[in-house]
Amino acid sequence: MSNNQPVKRVNRQTWHFDQNVRLQSSAVAVGPKEGEGPLAHLFDKIHDDMYAGQQTWEDAERQLMEDAVNTLLQKAGITGKDVDIILAGDLLNQNITTNFTAEKLAMPLLGMYGACSTSMLTLANAAALVNAGYANRAIAACSSHNATAERQYRYPTEYGGQKPPSAQWTVTGAGAGLVGIGGNGPRITYATMGKVVDMGIKDPFDMGTAMAPAAASTIQTHFQDTGRSPETYDLIVTGDLAAVGYPILKELMLAEGYDMDQVYNDCGLMIYSPDQDVFAGGSGCASSAVVTYSYIIDQLNRGLLKNVLVCATGALLSPVSTQQGNSIPCIAHAVALEGGS
Amino acid sequence: MATKTKSKNPGSMQMTKQLYQQQASKFQPKRNVLLNSFRAFWVGGTICLLGQAIQNMYITFFGFTEKTASNPTVATLIFLSVLLTGLGVYDNIGQYAGAGSAVPVTGFANSIASAAIEHRSEGYVLGVGGNMFKLAGSVIVFGVVAAFIAGIIKSLINMFF
């Protein structure tokens, strides 16, 4: 790439990682439904029950995050002591999955919340800490669980209410990535941190429509700040816009003069096959995390993809804000990955 | 490499909220109202038919009258609904049938049982007890309020006519 200027702050929202910051290893753990999806052969650990051998769903989600991090350490051939800090987040109130898991892992923790954008929020910040020298190795991790998210944001899991076709299926899973200087794995070159965008959408069963403008804002800013364009990338993915948000984003970008047609996909559409009854597609922190930390890293490492932009999208709503009639504020964070040594 | 075609302020959303909502609405998946109504009709109708069959059974074989048979009939339907909820089937019926399985007494039972199951992990008193009526509570509240108002209207009418 020609953009190797020795500058960290490219613009207000975009960071350039001028050191040889790499995603040295990654791992994912998922639930049964994801294990039946088209990417299953790339997942490190597939639990065949939603409880993951635990008593409660909340415990199960912690188990998933723990599995992802421990598998990651194993794959990288290091122990927890070799990691300076873990940056992690989830969807549950007070980030409980993250906090309880980090206690078990005995690593210094930066807990982060960006709803479903947490995957790239943590990865970007891990890269920034490593690039600046505050950490030699940092782990970025996040998780979501279908049943814990249903309980917190919607109805009891066994409640027989009908969902509209624009609803999405929260991915059960966790992903973790190890960020360090040098070694193997894709380079992390840029991160563009998003602004909160609220276009007045109020329907919590239509988050694709709510989040698409936030993704458009971040991707557009990324192109403007870096001088890049859709042609720079072999693949641009959003986190969980799914079947409703996907065409909206494409149209929004086209209106701004960016034709994404050839390179654009959405993790929420990639993780399940269309016959899996997931409404418009997958959602949750794990949607972008699981796809990025398995399929995308694998493709980059094998040289089948060279440049990838992952733009994780988050709907920053709470059940209280929804019931009080507020619209859904959304955010998207993008990280650019580059394959090859 | 830089192929900007238009100059814009970075990240500025030029589009108004109204315009966006208008433009985005065309990407909304269409809901098939006719199909949904048909499904609600046949599932809801089948539940009612089942109720009728149960009521006839109580009248024919257990000596209940048409009036007294309604209590055991409702209890049986509630039992079946709770059983299906516990087995993880009722939510699938609900997704298929919509109002067809929500409106009958079985839907009410499902809303209570599902909340009870969901909050079991938080203990019996604050979990199950405190959350059982999370969804059903408003039905009870407004059912009682509506019955109260209807009762007052009926009394007033009887007083004057």
Task: Name which CATH class applies to A187-338.
Answer: alpha beta
Sequence-ordered list of residues with C-beta below 8 angstroms from that of B147, at least 6 positions apart, any chain: none
List Cα–Cα distances, B104 to A177, B58, B82, B94, B100, in angstroms: 49, 20, 13, 11, 7
Q: Is A108 on the interface with B (CB under 8 A)?
A: no
Percentage of residues of chain B with pLDDT beyond 90:
78
Q: Is residue B79 part of a domain?
A: yes
Q: Do A224 and B121 touch (CB under 8 A)?
A: no
Question: How many cross-chain Cβ pairs, A to B, lie less than 8 Å apart?
Answer: 128
* pLDDT value of residue A7: 87
Q: How far is CA B100 from CA A177, B41, B42, B104, in A?
A: 46, 6, 7, 7
- Given a cut of 50, whether residue B9 has pLDDT beyond it is no
pLDDT of A10 higher than 90: yes
Provide the greatest CA pair distance for chain A: 57
Can you tell me the mean pLDDT for A293-320?
96
Show Cβ contacts of residue A56 under 8 Å, excluding neighbours closer than 6 positions. Answer: B121
For chain A, counts of helices (H) and of strands (E): 10, 14
What is the span of the domain harbouring residue B55? 38-158
- Contact predicate A314/A120, CB 8 Å: no
Q: Which of B:40-59 have CB within 8 Å of A?
A: none
| B130 interfaces chain A, CB cutoff of 8 Å | no
- The yes-or-no verdict on residue A340 having pLDDT over 90 is no
- Stated as kind and residue range, the H or E segment containing A174 is strand A173-181
Nearest to A257 among B4, B91, B110 (CB): B4
CA angle A283-A288-A289, nearest 5°?
A: 120
Q: What pLDDT was estimated at residue B14?
A: 59
Q: Do domains A14-181 and A187-338 have the same CATH topology?
A: yes
pLDDT for residue A188: 97
pLDDT, residue B103, reads 84
Predicted confidence (pLDDT) per residue in B85-94, tens digit: 999 999 999 9
Instruction: Report if residue B62 sits inside a domain.
Output: yes
Q: Which residues contact A111 (CB under 8 A, 6 or more apart)?
A: A88, A89, A95, A98, A99, A102
- Tens digits of residue pLDDT in B39-52: 999 999 999 999 99
DSSP code per residue over A192-234? EPPPPB------TT-HHHHHHHHHHHHHHHHHHHHT--GGG-S
Residue B7 pLDDT grade (very low, low, confident, very high; cuts 50, 70, 90): very low
Which pLDDT tens digit goes with each residue over A113-140?
A: 999 999 999 999 999 999 999 999 999 9
Predicted local confidence at residue B11, as pLDDT: 44
Q: Are strands A307-315 and A235-238 parallel, antiparallel or unpaired?
A: parallel
Mean pLDDT of the A238-258 span: 95
Count of structural domains, chain B: 1
Residue A341 is predicted with a pLDDT of 64
CATH class name, domain A14-181:
alpha beta
A229·B29 Cβ contact <8 A: no
The reported pLDDT for the residue numbered B2 is 44
**Closest partner CB to A220 (pick from B11, B102, B111):** B11
Is A89:A285 a contact under the CB 8 Å cutoff?
yes
Q: Is B86 on the interface with A (CB under 8 A)?
A: yes
Percent of chain A with pLDDT over 90: 96
CB within 8 Å: B10 and A280: no
- Extents of the domains making up chain A: 14-181, 187-338
The SS3 call for residue A235 is: strand
Confirm whether B9 is domain-assigned.
no
**Does residue A311 sit in helix, strand or coil?**
strand
Contact A213 B11 (CB under 8 A): no
Q: What percent of chain A has pLDDT over 70?
A: 98
- Could you tell me the CA-to-CA distances from B75 to A259, B68, B84 in Å, in that order? 61, 12, 14
CA proximity to A247, closest of B19, B23, B16, B31: B23
Calculate ∠ Cα B129-B130-B134, nearest 5°: 110
Sequence-distant (≥ 6) Cβ neighbours of residue B53 within 8 angstroms: none
Instruction: Kindly report the backbone phi and psi dihedral angles of residue A126, in degrees, each rounded to the nearest multiple of 5, phi listed first.
Output: -65, -45
Is the confidence at residue B12, as pLDDT, over 60? no
User: Following CA atoms A243, A246, A252, A253 in sequence, which dihedral angle do they give, to the nearest 10 degrees?
Assistant: -160
Residue A93 DSSP symbol: G
Q: What local confidence, expressed as pLDDT, does residue A1 receive? A: 46
Name residues 160-179 of chain A within 8 A of B (Cβ): 160-166
C-alpha distance from B87 to closest chain A C-alpha (Å): 9
pLDDT tens figures, A176-191:
999 999 999 999 999 9
Specify the length of chain A in residues: 341
Residue B118 lies in a domain: yes
Residue range A270-299: mean pLDDT, rounded: 95
- Helical (H) or strand (E) element with A176: strand A173-181
Contact A66, A106 (CB under 8 A): no
Structure confidence at residue B31 (pLDDT)? 86
The full DSSP string for chain B is -----S---TT---S-HHHHHHHHHTTSPPP-HHHHHHHHHHHHHHHHHHHHHHHHHHHHHH---TTTTHHHHHHHHHHHHHHHHHTT-HHHHHHHHTHHHHSSHHHHHHHHHHHHHHGGGG-IIIIIIHHTTTTHHHHHHHHHHHHHHHHHHHHHHHHH-
Bridge partners, A168 (sequence order): A279
Residue A227 burial by Cβ neighbours in a 10 Å radius (0-12, 13-18, 19+): middle
